[in-house]
Structure 1
């Protein structure tokens, strides 16, 4: 089980591309990489999950924590590129009502 996390950190925006699976084995790496970035004041964090093939509840927990941390520091948090399966996971848990999600079928830049 592998995960790749590519981060582009500019002055006020953190763009993250995650590839692989997010589970109990890989979630700690994701948390270690992103939590320090989530504590920047007024940061906009965008996490692209287009290449994530699987995520369990451990991954959901990481994203809830990131969302709370970014918001606590007056920032914005968004997930992008979720497959139908991942989107359903966020819908079922009610997290889609709290976290901004741009689904994989919504192409283009804003």
Structure 2
């Protein structure tokens, strides 16, 4: 089925992204997820941060599309914006309730979604929300010698140091979970100063990858030393992660391959 995706600016700085098809029974699946992702990124990159995605014509949705929607919601949330859905299909509502009930707000009509967002942003602006999020993020205090830096609006570089084993992994796990929970789903893990990973340490990194992928995010590793590369090769994880020699190359990769800009 041919799908048409478009967007229209409305009052109060709210943009409606529409998904339409020919005839009845529009299905959004893995094949249509890239088009939805591209349209959503185009809208966000143009500075439109308060979005209603109109799925009124959609009768079915799968996990790939859900990840795109969650990713879009996470991107705008970091910048003080919001993404909500207008859904009429009971099947789509059930799909959302089963897996993503707390991730994206849904409304029965576009009008009700626009009205709710207009009221919410009349009370607290995008700028105020962005400042509050930045303040919350500033309170993430890494331990164990690890550190992090937001190198762009989306990409965060986490510097991992020393040994990451069963005894030392909890501080790194907490840091990664805290960052992801605050919407930082594009991570560069810089392992230049790390010298040992055991199975627990590797499990922390794999767990972070699962978390960000569920939100349409990604992780790139910086592993310039043979010692660290070996840990990933012998476990087969070198085929799972994108690995680079420098932080700059890893950041560039996330921007190019994962559609992150700025």
**TM bracket, shorter-chain basis:** 0.7 to 0.9
Aligned to 1:74: 216
Which one of the candidate residues 86, 89, 93 is aligned to 2:228?
Answer: 86
Aligned to 2:146: 5
CA distance in 1, matches of 2:223, 2:199: 18
Alignment RMSD (CA, Å): 2.2
CA distance in 1, matches of 2:155, 2:248: 18
Unaligned regions of 5+ residues in structure 2, if any?
Answer: 1-142, 253-262
Are 2:163 and 1:21 equivalent residues in the alignment? yes
In the superposition, the TM-score normalised over structure 1's length comes to 0.84
Aligned to 1:97: 239
Q: How many residue pairs were aligned?
A: 107
Which protein is richer in helix relative to its size?
A: 2
CA distance in 2, matches of 1:11, 1:108: 16
In the superposition, the TM-score normalised over structure 2's length comes to 0.38
Contact map agreement 1:77 1:99 (CA 8 A) in 2: yes
Q: Per chain length, whose mean CA-contact separation is higher, i.e. which structure has more relative contact order (CA < 8 Å, sep 6+)?
A: 1
Aligned to 1:36: 178
CA distance in 2, matches of 1:70, 1:49: 19
Q: Structure 1's 91 and 35: CA in aligned 2 closer, same or farther, altered over 3 A?
A: same
